[in-house]
Structure 1
Amino acid sequence: MTETAGHPQTETYRSTQSQIDFRGSGRAWLNWGLGVAFVVVVFIMQSGYAITNKSVAADLGLSLTQVGLVGSVYTWVFAIAQFGSGSMLDRLGARRCLPLAAALLTVGAVVFALATSYWMLIAGQVLMALGGSFGFIGAGFIGGQWFDPLKYGFMFSLVQFAASTGALVGQRSISFLIENLGLTWPVLIGGIAVLGALVTVLMLLVLRDPPGAEENREGWQGLRSFIDSILTAVSTVASVRAGWLNALIAGATFGSLFAMGVVWGPRLMMAAGMPDGQAYSVGSLCWLGLATGAPCISWLSDRLGKLVKPMAVACALQLVFLGAALIWAPVSPVLASVLLFAFGFCAGGSMLPFAIAAKLVPGKLVGTSAALVNAVQFIISGMLMALPGQILAGASNVVPAQNIVAEPTYGDYQVAMLVFPGALLLALILSFFLHEPYSEADRAHLEVEANEIAAMIEKRKIG
């Protein structure tokens, strides 16, 4: 039977067909590519600190503890900001949020490059963290909107592939520029700021939300209503107990990788007797491992139809390879390279928690669920990044005049970095208490819970 143009079934079909048309289209890849470009700039900035922190410390007279804290401040602010950034993406969309975030990252990089004191470094890190908090989940959010929802986890792994590859290339490039061209860290950070400015302009000109996305969002109803909607989203996601187990596992698996890749991997290699350039190259293999491991483990997870078990196995192997690296790093650069690459590869399992989190909440809160996972990842990353510095400071002598901590021994590093395998062991234990993600029936129940929480907040607001 032929249907008329105004018939509801015809309109529904056209709406569905329109959604099918844009998913995976060239426009989808263009928007996703811009989101990934932003993530790459964020990761180059983050991983670049692994290369520049030694010269930054020497120029500004920082202690080893302060070196760790400068990196940790970024991760802590980044983590806290996640709770707002994820909900803002759900509420406002990528087109409104990401260009502003990229601009904020760029300003922070400029402040960092011009820093003449410890506190200017901190200020630059805070600004970069606020902008960078939209990066990874923003690219994942774009992937979830512009591509098939069933590919959500795999698209996240592709984001991680691009980000880790960018981090690897960034570390190698910065190391080359320092060693061969003698460029200073302010010039290098300034160059990254230029990249951030370029991405900002491209986003303003090109980035768009998918067709129909605006229709599913509420219009602007004032600041109070906007804040209440964010609190509602965060409260709903935070009320899922399994989500916290999932996030803690994600934090330990990614945090140990991040701390090794950004600060402690290269320093461990130097303490083992490697020249600085070689130590940076070997340490950066963590990122290459993560870049290849994330999509491979995600693909395997899809083939098995499981998420929790592959994540647990990857965590166990990550623990084994990291433990071996701590024990055998001095043996040879080749062995150290293999172990750190394998450690990074298995850290690719830290992307599965994003797919798990998305299945634990109503569909309209996917961005907030990703933000919770990423926030916990970076809170734990900050802790793991700072703890070895605190331990080493207690094992070393401080030179009062320059306020620079004398270089600890390799044995000191081995002891201090036991916090990483300790965190992975705890994550492995927690994985036994996490079940496979909920069914569609459970997701419908979560939708009801979300509405109930929203009603409670509205009632308090009226009262």
Structure 2
Amino acid sequence: MTASRAWLIWTIGIFSYLVAVSQRTSFGVVGIEATERFHASASAISFFTVLQLLVYAGLQIPVGVLVDRFGSRTMIAGGAVLMGLGQLQLAFAVSIPGGVLGRVLVGAGDAMTFIAVIRLIPLWFAPARVPLLTQLTGMSGQLGQLFSVLPFALILHNAGWTPAFLTMAGLSGVAVVVVLLLLQDQPPGTPASGTGQGLRATGISLSRAWRQPGTRLGLWSHFTVQFSGTVFAMTWGYPFLISAQGLDAGTVSALMALYVAAGIAAGPLMGRFVSRHPLRRSTMVLLIAGATAAAWGAILLNSGRSPVWLLAGLVVVLAIGGPGSMIGFDFARTFNPAHRIGTATGIVNVGGFIAALVAIFLIGLVLDVLYSAGFSNGALYGLEPFRIALSVHFLLLSIGAAAIIVCRRKVRRQMAAQGVHVPPLLRSLAEQRRSRLARRRAPSRD
């Protein structure tokens, strides 16, 4: 009975996350329509998503603390309410401030969902299953993006702006009902954890989670491999493929569907890799970052429009970044005690979304500057302007990769000092460090 209940809880969590992802990515489909509806520039349209992600990222740590204190059920239901209100607001918005308010509410509700869903897994399942189920959760939730690309886009183009966003608001209403009726925070008889924690204890928990090098390694891992796919799916992928690459709407929808399918396919493989090779997790993250840079390089260095097969290759690589970023949450889980998982996960989840909002804003800014300078030949979303603007990816990928290497060294030194098996070279370095410290502390014989 407990096992079947656990799978039911997990399924409800996946559905809630699926709804959140569909709300999060819905604006990425309406970039061109939003430009016309709000009479907005490229940077103004990017500001919608930037502010949404800023709210999302800014709430990750507070939400992580609140999830540890109040449980997943309350946070998931509250998040669905906020997202529904945001989409309702956006359905009738006719000005930039009104539209921005709607996306802020969506960002706040979205921020409350993923961490709460992830926290359910170690409470309901055995530790050996956690890495794979975490990957499956993230990838199954990405089906929500498929909903925004296909049914939502279909409603938008056939029925119009307001009916499309009212549909999204109704979907959030369904999630609220399901969560309140069926979701349970932890198995019956399990002692409640985290409730009643005072502000001082909360501050100590947050400080300890941040000081743990494994938490910071998770943050930078998430930062490095998650943002590029988010930028592509949420804002600039659709205009880039339609206006710059000259693809028709059907082909773009197929590529977006490929993005979702490739991410789902890669998730279980990534989960198995993490379970079998825990000391190679950061290496996998760096390999994905390198592949992402290579894929963007192949597209942006191409002299003209890229063939569909090359664009499909880019989409697949960006999709792999989704499950790759989930490795960051595995760092948070393995280097922090159970009562601090929500807080540590919140810290990690900040990374990719901070990188994404910076990239989205800079790309929009560069496009507007090039357009104002006359470089775009009258085409705001032309191929040449996009080629320059999208080069922002290389800067953020470089920063993230350097930070991962620095944090990884600290984590491995810590593991070696604790007697955890590490590669021989790292173990030798740790032993040398301990020897130097011992010599410094030893009393002088003079």
Whether the TM-score (by the shorter chain) exceeds 0.5 is yes
TM-score per shorter chain, which class? 0.7 to 0.9
Deviates more, 1:366-375 or 1:243-252: 243-252
1:352 to 319, 323, 327: 327
Q: Which residue of 2 aligns with 1:217?
A: 193
**Match of 1:365?**
340
Q: Distance in 2 between matches of 1:341 and 1:303?
A: 24
1:193 aligned partner: 169
Show the counterpart of 2:121: 143
Q: Which of residues 267, 270, 277 in structure 2 aligns to 1:294?
A: 267
Q: 1:234 aligns with which of 189, 202, 206?
A: 206
Which range moved further: 149-158 or 281-290? 281-290
Task: Give the whole-Å Cα distance in 1 for the aligned partners of 2:103 and 2:195.
Answer: 33
Which amino acid is the alignment partner of residue 194 of structure 1?
G
Q: Which SS does the other structure have where 1:215 is aligned?
A: coil
Q: Which residue of 2 aligns with 1:336?
A: 311
Cα distance, 1:219 vs structure 2? 4.9
- Provide the rounded CA distance (Å) in 2 between the counterparts of 1:125 and 1:54: 16
Separation in 1, partners of 2:372, 2:291: 36
Asked whether the equivalents of residues 168 and 287 of structure 1 are also in contact (C-alpha less than 8 Å), the reply is yes
TM-aligned CA deviation for residue 43 of structure 1: 0.9
Residues 347 and 198 of structure 1, relative CA distance in 2, 3 Å threshold: closer
Structure 2 match to 1:166: 144
Alignment equivalent of 1:324, drawn from 287, 298, 304: 298
Q: Distance in 1 between matches of 2:21 and 2:238?
A: 17
Separation of aligned partners in 2, 1:230 and 1:98:
21
Q: Give the direction of change, closer, same or farther, for the CA distance of 1:228–1:186 in structure 2 (3 Å limit).
A: farther
Distance 1:214 1:146, change over 3 A: closer
1:69 aligns with 2:47: yes
Task: Please say if 1:382 is aligned against 2:354.
Answer: no
Map residues 65-144 of structure 1 onto 2, 5 A cutoff: 65-144=43-122
* Cα distance in 2, alignment partners of residues 260 and 63 from structure 1: 18
- Partner amino acid for 2:231? A
- Which of residues 20, 29, 37 is equivalent to 1:59? 37
CA distance in 2, matches of 1:156, 1:77: 24
CA contact (8 A) 2:367 2:380 kept: no
Question: Does residue 259 of structure 2 align to residue 259 of structure 1?
Answer: no
Shift of 1:441: 8.8
SS of residue paired to 1:310: helix
Judge conservation of contact 1:153–1:354 (CA < 8 Å) in 2: no
Give the C-alpha shift of residue 60 in structure 1: 1.5
> Partner of 2:142: helix, strand, or coil?
helix
Contact conserved, 2:240 with 2:381, CA < 8 A, in 1?
no
Q: In structure 2, do the counterparts of structure 1 residues 441 and 35 end up closer, same or farther at CA, with 3 Å as the change threshold?
A: farther
CA 1:140/1:78 → structure 2, altered by over 3 Å: closer, same or farther? same
Q: CA deviation at 1:428?
A: 2.6
> 1: distance between equivalents of 2:190 and 2:418?
27
Give percent identity, aligned residues only. 20
Shift of 1:263: 1.4
Please, which moves more after superposition, 48-57 or 322-331? 322-331
Deviation string for 1:347-369 (max 9, x for gaps)?
Answer: 42111011012222222101111
Q: Secondary structure at the match of 1:205?
A: helix
CA–CA separation in structure 2 for the residues paired with 1:140 and 1:44: 18
Aligned to 2:443: none
**Could you say which residue in structure 2 is the equivalent of 1:11?**
none
Looking at structure 1, the residues matched to 170 and 325 of structure 2 have their Cα atoms a distance apart, in angstroms, of 30
* Residue-pair matches, total: 411
Change (3 A) 1:218 1:395: closer
Counterpart position of 1:39: 17
Please report how far the alpha carbon of residue 406 of structure 1 lies from its aligned counterpart in structure 2 after TM superposition: 4.7
Q: TM-score, normalised by structure 2?
A: 0.85
- Give the corresponding residue for 1:414: 387
CA distance in 1, matches of 2:44, 2:260: 24
Q: Secondary structure at the match of 1:432?
A: helix
CA distance in 1, matches of 2:373, 2:149: 29
Instruction: Assess, with a 3 A threshold, how the Cα gap between structure 1 residues 121 and 258 changes in structure 2: closer, same or farther.
Output: same
Residues 196-218 of structure 1 show CA distances to partners (whole Å, capped at 9, x for unaligned) of 00110111111112235762335
- Measured against aligned partners, the alpha-carbon deviations of 1:81-111 in whole angstroms (never above 9, x if no partner) come to 1111111111111123221221122112211
Cα distance in 1 for residues equivalent to 2:221 and 2:365: 24
Kindly report the root-mean-square deviation, in angstroms, between the aligned alpha carbons of the 2 structures: 2.6
Deviations 1:10-31 (A, max 9, x none): xxxxxxxxxxx73xx1111111
Residues 165, 262 of structure 1: CA spacing in aligned structure 2 closer, same or farther, 3 A cutoff? same
Runs of 5+ consecutive residues of structure 2 not aligned to the other structure: 420-446
Conservation of the 8 A alpha-carbon contact between 1:257 and 1:344 = yes
Q: What pairs up with 1:167-182 in 2 under 5 angstroms? A: 167-179=145-157, 182=158
Matched-pair contact (CA < 8 Å) for 2:72–2:185 = yes
**CA deviation vs aligned residue, 1:382-423 (integer Å, no higher than 9, x gap):** 111111000111000499xxxxx9524211101101111322
CA distance 1:440–1:41, shift in 2 (3 Å): farther
